[in-house]
Amino acid sequence: MNPVFYGILVLLTTSLMGSSFAVGKMGLAYISPFLLAGLRFTTAGILMALWVRKNRFPASMHDWSKVVLVGLFQTAGVMGCIFLSLRTITAGESSILTFVNPLLVVILGTWFLGTRYQLSQWIGVFIGFLGVVITLGFHLQMKTGTLLGLGSALSWSIATILVKRWGSQFDIWVLTAYQMLFGGLLLLFMSVTMESPTLIINAESIWIVLYLAIMGSIVQFAAWYYLLKQGDPGKTSAFLFLAPFFGVLSGWAILGEVVQWYVYIGGFFICIGLFLVNWTSADKKLSQR
């Protein structure tokens, strides 16, 4: 792949990942958290399902149950925690905490998949969690949002393990489309049963939902999976550390958020940890590959 085009796609994808936090926080002024997340992914899931309708579908109810389970963790769990966290912490802090997930994948992969990682990757895990401690350690009062931010990372890491185990059984685009759709529908159900749904319809709220559904979900996933397919997955995944950077940057640029100095230091350590965990796997493949 042309290096310039590769770089443009990396910047596009990670900036969409990061900016979705700030745009999502804007949406909370008009739409309640679960409803906003549900509208985002139900819309994205329907549009993508129409696009992949001619692709190979899961053959049995057992296979469909796996798709639903991935949607439960990847979409409902991750996005539910993120949008709830944005009520009490900044978009930058939420993005930093959410993108701890690759570090958790190393631990869960060792426990549940028997994957063996290099020493440098474990050092990356340690540095990454040190970053989380620095980011959260100055909050003497443990906010609900920080726990939810970590919850989104845990849910994402569980979904990653499930996809690693089951992904080869499915057309990846069908899996992506329907896990978003099922997760979005679950979020809508959670909105009806767990919150007092709020929906203010105006030009800005419509724009926010469409941006999150099309740019922040469909375009983001399509570009990211294209990069993973065309390039080395290990090297490509290393660039995930850019996402929390864009999360903090967009929170400052769009929302005028003031991020405390220790959050930057913690985020820096997390980025180093993410880099070590992901980048080393590019040069020496993991034992399961």
Domain residues of the chain, as ranges?
A: 3-283
Residues whose CB is less than 8 angstroms from the CB of residue 33 and which lie 6 or more positions away in sequence, other chains included: 80, 83, 84, 86, 87, 195
Going by pLDDT thresholds of 50, 70 and 90, the confidence category of residue 43 is very high
Q: In whole numbers, what is the pLDDT of the chain averaged over residues?
A: 82
pLDDT score of 289 more than 50: no
pLDDT value at residue 254: 87
pLDDT value at residue 115: 72
pLDDT value at residue 186: 94
Residues whose CB is less than 8 angstroms from the CB of residue 159 and which lie 6 or more positions away in sequence, other chains included: 70, 73, 74, 77, 78
pLDDT value at residue 185: 95
pLDDT value at residue 286: 40
pLDDT value at residue 187: 94
pLDDT score of 24 more than 60: yes
Torsion sign over Cα 118, 120, 121, 122? positive
- Cβ(109)–Cβ(270) below 8 Å: no
Average pLDDT rounded to a whole number, residues 178-194: 93
Token pair 């991935």 in the structure block, residue: 70
Average pLDDT rounded to a whole number, residues 271-285: 65
Instruction: Enumerate helices (H) and strands (E) in the chain, giving the number of each.
Output: 14, 0
pLDDT value at residue 285: 44
- Most confident range (mean pLDDT) of 87-96, 175-184, 265-274 is 175-184
236/122: higher pLDDT:
122
For residue 230, the SS3 value is helix
What spatial distance separates the first Cα and last Cα of the chain, rounded to whole Å?
A: 23
pLDDT score of 287 more than 70: no
Half-sphere exposure of 107 (CA within 13 A, CB side): 14
The neighbour count for residue 101, using CB atoms within 10 Å, is: 22
- Most confident range (mean pLDDT) of 193-202, 260-269, 272-281 is 193-202
pLDDT score of 238 more than 70: no
- Cβ(146)–Cβ(161) below 8 Å: no
The whole-angstrom separation of Cα 30 and Cα 133 is: 33
